[in-house]
Structure 1
Amino acid sequence: MTQLVSPAPERSKPGRSGGGLQRVLQRVAEGIVRRHKLVIVAWLVVIAASTPFAFQLSSVLTKQGASKVVPGTSSADVERLVEQDFPQRSQRETLLVLTAPDVREPRVRQFLAAVDAGLSERVARGEIDQTVSAYTIYRDAATAYLTQLQGPDGIRTAAADLALRTDWAKFPVPVPPEVVSTVISSSGGTTLVSVSFSKKAGNDPDVDGLRALAARSLHDAGLDGVAQVHATGELALIHDTYAKADADNGTMETAAYVIILLVLLLFFRAVVPAVVTLVSIGLAMNVSQAALFGLGHAVTLTQFTVTIMTFVMLGAGVDYSMLLSSRYRQERLAGRSVREAVVHATTHAGESVMLAGGAVALSFGATLLSPVDWIPPLGYGGLLGIPIILLAALTLTPALLTLFGDKFFLLGRKPLADMESTGLLSRYLRRVSAVASRRKIAVTLLFLLVTVPFGFVVASNHSTADPVALSPDTDSKRGFELVAKEWGHGTVFPTVIAGPIAAGAADGTKLTDSGYQAVTDLGDRLAGVPGVSEVDTVARPFGKALPRAEVTDLPPDVRKDFLADNGTLRIVVKLKDEPYSAAASDTVKRVETVLSDAGKAVGNLELGGATRVDEQYGSALNSSFWQMVLLVSLGVFLMLLLTIRSLVIPLHLIGTIMMSNVWAIGVTVLLFRDVFGLPVIDDLPIFLIILMMGLGMDYEIFLVTRVRDLVRGGMANGPATMRAVVDTGRVITSAGLVMAGSLGTMVLSSTIMLQQYGTGLATAVLLDATLVRMLFVPATLLLFGKYNWWLPKLRRAAR
């Protein structure tokens, strides 16, 4: 091993001038040192016991995703009514989209009949409410006609045979063309099969099974190479996005491990510490995944929960372990024994790790307060995983250091040399800190001025929650584009009005005269709203008002789409514009005005659907965003106030993180919106800012606690700041590269959401670990001077 060199050590006894947290950590460290083998064995047992459960984590993840419908809103009420009274038209409706040269040819009829037959058992079990296709429309029309002539016995089989074998253009039984046009495009090249999954199908209906049935039916009908079939709908879009994210995880994790290992090798300049650090943290993550598996039985978890947890835990865990082992090496260089070095490193570096981990846990915990169901699943992983990975860094890493001693740094090139005070990086940091010292006001103003244009970019950005625009290239996205081309976006994402019909407007399942007139009038007024392409009601089920007699004689299958047996009314408004566009939002506001003026005559109706959900989701997101930011800021402020014993430092660090977050969001928006021409997901700012309040705080905490320790040791604020920049420079830079590399691998995902999360988080981390930490934080610390540690009451109490 390389002979140890002492760089003017600080020989104060651990905990003597420290706070309560340091004293607790000192006692914990002393216990770990005495029983380090027991600690290692305990961790191995826990990891071994957790691994089988970690492998089952995917079984508790929902593939349908968490809802973006905000509880307590009109959209939530409409969605509840539709699921309850019109389940065949709820968000669980999935469309099979078949394209062929002529969808009326015999082979297509055979395909449609085979799909219907293949789903019949699931319909009988109640897992599917209904299936609707051109085949079922013609079959049911023939059934009704023949039943009138001959009675019901044997009629359905004969009608099915007639629908299968007869050319629909020459069908002997009259079938309304309006009904057929809902499932066969005007070009005759596309046809739809509607499959409505019921609640008995579970939270994750078998979309892949439906695709497999469609593929078999296509093959059996001899349509391979002639026709194509896709499954689409909101359920299928979310399912495919989650499946893509899951498939990408292996590639992203591999890339993250490779990047982290390379950074660790460069940081330690030795093989053993790099491998041991990465393996120990990687294994400890099994405990987090097992805990998440248990939690998944009680709350909704998604694939994104695991993805976010994996990369945050991996980056944070390695960062914390690096800081401890780096501080151990410095203590050994200062001449302390192995056990003293472990205790001293755990006492002082452990405090920074505890504060950093606490900030991250607060950030994740704040997401649970969001009123939007989509947000909390992203927080569960971090809230559960950070304490576990923090415990591993503070117990397993010291135990391994005690066990191996200096052999921890085996297989390297001078791994125990004084790398903090020598080398290219330390010389560069001295020059940079000198610039921050000489030009502290200029540096501070420059950073603040650069924040202004980035703030303008962030404020002027129009983000979206459009599942199609944000979806990767999937089967469901291609199917949706076909449906939108032939029938319009409103077929999959309509605006929906629902509510109990007014008293006297319906007699059982039939409209009364007054009810018919009221529904017709409302439908006409809604159809006249600019931006509306079609309105479907029980009085105009196919976009065109029907005479009173025809409405009374509507087939039950048509009527029940708009008037439920219990008197709930459903009205479908299809918009001319894409449902998530600003133009669509304006149209929905005009629809709301008409509904408030004329809707009372029809019933107690409320407005919902995709566009209204997006509006209410965005409003709830904005309001909850500021609540969460305030909560996290307050929690971090109090935590730092009590531990660092300063009023200014916590406010300083919170403001610094906000500034770097604005930069990171601005960079992400400019990159995706202006360079790639892609939409920006609407929850990017809330996710990035809330999460970086914890993760980005790490590096400032590492630096500031080092400054504080030097000040406590008798050094003036200016020299302490300059020295702390150099002392912590190497470990913070390396830790930042580890975290940015771990989070940045999310850009390899095929989902735009993870790409933007990865870009934003990696940018924010790199900014905090480099420019902000090297220039802005030192400059402002030097600018505030003695006021950095101003806390009069606590100072008088300490004296």
Structure 2
Amino acid sequence: MTDAPDHPDRSTSALSRLGGLVGRHPRTVVLIWLVAVVASFAGATGALGNQSLFERLQSGDPSVAGENLQGRDQLVAAGRSATSTHLLQVTDANATSPATVAAVRDAATAITGIDGVASVAAPQLVPAGIDSPEARSLLPTDGDGFAAVVTFDTDLEGDARDRAQEQVDAEFDDLVAAIPGARGTTGGLADLIEAITSQVEKDLRAGEGIALPISFLVMVLVFGGFVAAGMPIIGAIASIAGALASLLGFSHVIDLDATVVNVVTVLGLGLCIDYGLLTVSRFREELRARVQGRPASEITQEEVLAAIVRTVDSAGRTVVFSGLTVAISLGGLLVFEASILKAIGSAGLSVVVVAMLVALTLVPALCVVGARRLLKRGTEQAPEEGVFSRLATWVFRRPLLVIIAVLAVLGTLAAPAFDLRLTSSGKELLPVSAPQREFFTTLEARYPQLAGPDVQVVATATPEQAQAYAAALPVVDGTRLTGRVETVNDALSLVAIDTPGGPLDDGARDAVTALRADRPDFPTKVIGQASGLRDFTDSLRERAPYAFALVALATLVLLFLMTGSVVIPVKALLMNVVSLGASLGVVVWVFQDGHLQGLLGFDSVGAIESTIPMLVLAFGFGLSMDYEVFLLSRIVELHERGVGNDEAVIAGLQRSGRIITSAAVLVVIVFSGFVAGQLLIIKETGVGLAVAVLLDATLVRMLLVPATMALLGDWNWWAPARLKRWHARFGITE
């Protein structure tokens, strides 16, 4: 390899000045971050007397402003809301016994007097008698027992709703206790939402409890010491605090789904570990270059300051480039109409900023404070040859064979993605043993009418028109649909339609298609889980090309500014497409096809949650470009200093390979920690992103990138003459 000249003078760059500021006042920087972290955790958990982040979360079907949402809004405006009901299921009780009838009537009298209760329904309260058709929906399809339904005022919310429900539950307890041998369970949609949001908090703690300690142990092995290993972990904790604080702020501006917290926090945790690892490693490299083998005790403060200035300038630019690429991928989510994707994109962007600030200020400050201890085990410079340079040399001898083999593996892994089937689970997000999932499973089996129909049609019509419409519903799969009509008011009716299977099975999906295609003379809105999923997927298909175009164009421009090449950015995009396709294929194989259910602790629903493909693609793309920037920054740095293509790639891989591999292992650990959670969508996200990082850091960065760069040679750096001149003026180089 040719000798590289010294670094150009960048002492006046903005990042160098920032590094100098941090280097001169490290303890002040650490103190400021400590105060910010404590305040962020206190605010997010409600310790400051405010409403906590987790109390402000919501849960429900991913929705867009389509027909399903419009129909639901019509019902809410007419005084109907699915979350306004609270149910009691009683078993081991004779519904017609005098003791039961008396207990139900006493409870109904007490419940009716509770502020906020609109009505109480039970089979013993039906005027026509418990054997009448009107009471049938409140009696089980088999066995003994009965159900009671309390409806709250639709405008009852917050603490008032909680107090009213607590009083109702107390009366339900007394009711069950008054019936000898009876057992009762309570639930409702509001309780299901509460169960999901509380599970988010539990999964977040469990994931962090697994990820942080294991990550620390791995970094001790990577760095060979507790001090160096602790710095990225401290940065990661600061990132979690910043993520929670930013999410709390966003919760006052936009509705945050419960899953947003886990997804965004995981991203911040992964990025901070990546950037912290890069910064600490680069600082040790820069400090060793200045100390040149002298004992750590002889390191001067001037050398520490010079090393941190250079570190923030060089590693800092890599962090900024990486952060921008991740921000670009998350920015693509803002193009979509779905509020959950916009929320993840918006909150994710703020978390990227936090991770960048941590890497540019807090971690460098910690490096300065612990500089001598970082090199306590030795100040010798790392050799230019090692495992990764030997791997690159091996790849350079057979690039075409490596390319074919890697693409074959990735293509095989991607194959299941072509059978992708989307769904939008409700209770299925929770484990089978969760009380609210058991409640709704039992309700669907024993009280199908209370559980709700698979598909509903909101008809702006008179009761007579609605009856005529229900009698002439379209034919689906050779069978005419049948519906029950419920009058909401004189101008609005609800047609309930049951289909074979559940509300998200093929029967319900086909019914939605048929009902939307065959409209009556009056306005109708088809609603239900299948209808909401149809609106969501239609919106995804409509907006996806614009999102992909935005991300691709911005990434091409950013990588061109970094490399001065048009070949490298295009190649990076194509490789990421193949890699992410493989990641999505693994998710389909595991969760849709039901492999590894026992190992990962889930029950397959035969499909993938509707938000997962966009999350895996957006987050996976950002993290993949993260490692691409790590590798390219070293290669470009050498190439700009006159080193040839082959030598620059081999040396760049040697210098960055350990960082990329270590960072990838740590991020995989982080995502795997969240696979241990209970929510299905969090498991799917964790597996998808862990696989994306694993494939990218091994097959793509270590094999495919050097193989393609070996095959293309100097063509890697080609750009039209006009763009070359433009890059010479505006490009961001060493």
Which bin holds the TM-score, normalised by the shorter protein?
A: 0.7 to 0.9
Deviations 1:52-89 (A, max 9, x none): 32332734644541542320x2212211111111415x
CA distance in 2, matches of 1:270, 1:260: 13
Decide whether aligned partners of structure 1 residues 94 and 406 sit closer, same or farther in structure 2, where only a CA change above 3 A counts.
same
Letter in 1 for 2:555: V
| Counterpart residue number, 2:279 | 324
Q: Which residue in 1 is equivalent to 2:33?
A: 43
Looking at structure 1, the residues matched to 22 and 355 of structure 2 have their Cα atoms a distance apart, in angstroms, of: 17
| 1:448 counterpart (407, 410, 413) | 407
1:751 and 2:679 correspond: yes
Matched, 1:478 2:438: yes
The TM-score, its normalising length taken from structure 1, stands at: 0.81
Query: Which among 215, 239, 257 is matched to residue 212 of structure 2?
Result: 257
Q: Retained in 2: the 8 A contact 1:66–1:374?
A: no
Displacement of 1:269: 0.4
Write the distance in 2 (CA, Å) between the matches of 1:255 and 1:43.
24
1:23 partnered with 2:23 = no
1:132 is aligned to 2:60: no
Distance (whole Å) between structure 1 residues aligned to residue 61 and residue 626 of structure 2: 32
Q: Helix, strand or coil: the match of 1:301?
A: coil
- Structure 1 match to 2:63: 69
- In structure 2, the CA distance between the partners of 1:745 and 1:436, relative to structure 1 (3 Å rule), is same
* CA distance 1:647–1:563, shift in 2 (3 Å): same
State the distance in 1 between where 2:582 and 2:590 align. 12
- Residues 138, 147 of structure 2: 8 Å contact kept: yes
Q: What does residue 707 of structure 1 align with?
A: 635
- 1:763-774 equivalent positions in 2, closer than 5 A: 763-774=691-702
CA displacement 1:372-402 (0-9 Å, x = unmatched):
2232333343221210121111112222222
The alpha-carbon distance between structure 1 residues 460 and 186, as it changes in their structure 2 partners (threshold 3 A), is closer
Cα 1:11/1:42, change in 2 over 3 Å: farther
Q: Work out which of the residue numbers 353, 367, 370 in structure 1 matches 2:319.
A: 353
Q: Quote the Cα distance in structure 1 between the aligned partners of 2:445 and 2:700.
A: 49
1:468 pairs with one of 427, 433, 453: 427
Cα distance, 1:402–1:667 mapped onto 2, change above 3 Å? same
Shift of 1:325: 1.2
Aligned partner (choices 616, 632, 635) of residue 554 of structure 2: 635
Larger displacement relative to structure 2 (758-767 or 635-644)? 635-644
> Partner of 2:418 in structure 1?
459
1:95 is matched with which residue: 75, 87, 92?
Answer: 87
In structure 2, C-alpha distance between the alignment counterparts of 1:114 and 1:719, rounded to whole Å: 86
> In the alignment, which residue of structure 1 is the partner of 2:242?
287
| 2:327 equivalent to 1:365 | no
Deviation for aligned residue 1:740: 1.1
Separation in structure 2 between the aligned mates of residue 225 and residue 247 of structure 1, nearest angstrom: 37
User: In the superposition, relative to structure 1, how do residues 400 and 185 fare at CA in structure 2: closer, same or farther (>3 Å)?
Assistant: closer
SS in 2 for 1:12: coil
Matched, 1:796 2:721: no
Taking the aligned partners of 1:464 and 1:685, their CA distance within structure 2 comes to: 11
- Show the 5 A alignment for 1:67-216: 67-71=61-65, 73-87=66-80, 90=82, 92-106=84-98, 108-109=100-101, 112-113=104-105, 116-117=108-109, 119-122=111-114, 124-125=115-116, 128-137=117-126, 141=127, 177-202=132-157, 210=165, 213-214=168-169
Classify 1:749/1:266 alpha carbon distance in 2 versus 1 (closer, same or farther; 3 Å). Answer: same
For 2:578 and 2:503, the matched residues in 1 are separated by: 34
Unaligned runs of 5+ in 2: 292-302, 598-602, 730-734
- Paired with 2:164 and 2:390, the residues of 1 have a C-alpha distance of 63
Residue 659 of structure 1 is aligned with which of 555, 570, 578? 578
Instruction: Show CA shifts across 1:123-144 (max 9, x none).
Output: x43xx4433222432xxx2xxx
Look up the SS of the partner of 1:95 in the other structure.
strand
Separation (CA, whole Å) in 2 of partners of 1:759 and 1:632? 23
How far apart, in 1, do the equivalents of 2:160 and 2:417 lie? Answer: 38
Q: Which region of structure 1 is more displaced relative to structure 2, 467-476 or 723-732? A: 467-476
Match of 1:149 in 2: none
Instruction: Find the aligned partners of 2:547 and 2:103 in 1 and give their Cα distance.
Output: 52
Give deviations 1:120-167, integer Å, cap 9, x for gaps: 355x43xx4433222432xxx2xxxxxxxxxxxxxxxxxxxxxxxxxx
Q: What is the identity, as a one-letter code, of the residue corresponding to 2:77?
A: Q
Preserved contact between residue 417 and residue 585 of structure 2 (Cα < 8 Å): yes
In structure 1, distance between residues paired with 2:5 and 2:479? 76
Q: CA deviation at 1:771?
A: 2.1
Q: Report the secondary structure of 1:715's partner residue.
A: coil
Distance 1:534 1:782, change over 3 A: same
The whole-number CA distance in structure 2 between the counterparts of 1:107 and 1:247 is 42
In structure 1, what residue type is equivalent to 2:630? F
The TM-score with structure 2 as length reference comes to 0.88
Distance in 2 separating the partners of 1:79 and 1:359: 38
State the 1:432 CA deviation.
2.2
Aligned partner of residue 427 in structure 2, secondary structure: coil
C-alpha offsets along residues 561-607 of structure 1, whole Å, 9 cap, x if unaligned?
x1415x2222222223311011221233333444x2xx21xx32222
Answering whether residue 192 of structure 2 is matched by residue 237 of structure 1, we say yes
Look up the match of 1:497. Answer: 457
Identity in percent = 23
Q: Given the superposition, is the C-alpha separation of residues 663 and 68 from structure 1 closer, same or farther in structure 2, using an over 3 Å criterion?
A: same
Shift of 1:745: 0.9
1:61–1:303: 8 Å Cα contact kept in structure 2?
A: no
Give RMSD over aligned pairs.
Answer: 3.1
Residue in structure 1 matched with residue 294 of structure 2 by the alignment? none
Q: Aligned partners of 1:84 and 1:433: how far apart in 2? A: 65
How far is 1:178 from its partner?
A: 1.1
Partner SS, residue 423 of structure 2:
coil
Is the CA contact 1:103–1:189 (under 8 Å) kept in the aligned structure 2? yes
- Relative to structure 1, the CA distance from residue 486 to residue 637 in structure 2 (aligned partners, 3 Å threshold; closer, same or farther) is same
Alignment partners' CA distance in 2, 1:688 and 1:185:
42
Query: Paired residue for 2:257, among 287, 302, 318?
Result: 302
Map Cα deviations across residues 202-256 of structure 1 (whole Å, 9 max, x no partner): 3799579748854763356437994443344544433322222222222211101
Deviation at 1:467, TM superposition (A): 1.7
Cα offset for 1:752?
1.1
8 A contact 1:648–1:787 mirrored in 2: yes
Give, as a single letter, the amino acid of the residue that structure 2 aligns with 1:133: A
- C-alpha spacing 1:200/1:520, structure 2 compared with 1 (3 Å): closer
**Residue 649 (str. 1) matches residue 568 (str. 2):** yes
2:472 paired with 1:525: yes
- Superposed, 1:680-719 pairs within 5 Å as 680-719=608-647
CA deviations 1:393-452 (Å, max 9, x no partner) are 111222222233222455xxx364545657xxx33x233212321111121122223333
Report the Cα offset of residue 48 of structure 1: 4.2
* Alpha-carbon separation, structure 2, partners of 1:632 and 1:339: 38
Q: Tell me if the contact between 2:53 and 2:244 (Cα under 8 Å) persists in the aligned partners.
A: no
Q: Which amino acid aligns with 1:30?
A: G
Structure 1 unmatched runs, 5+:
1-6, 142-172, 506-510, 539-561
Which has the greater radius of gyration? 1
The structural deviation recorded for 1:296 is: 1.6
Letter of the 2:63 counterpart: V
The CA distance in 2 between the partners of 1:54 and 1:536, in whole Å, is 46
Q: C-alpha separation between the residues in 2 aligned to 1:111 and 1:649?
A: 76
Q: Aligned partners of 2:30, 2:700: CA distance in 1, in Å?
A: 37
Partner of 2:489: 564
Q: SS in structure 1 opposite 2:139?
A: coil
The correspondence for 1:589, drawn from 505, 513, 523, is 513
Deviations 1:271-307 (Å, cap 9, x if unpaired)?
1122233124313532332232222212112332221
CA contact (8 A) 1:50 1:287 kept: yes
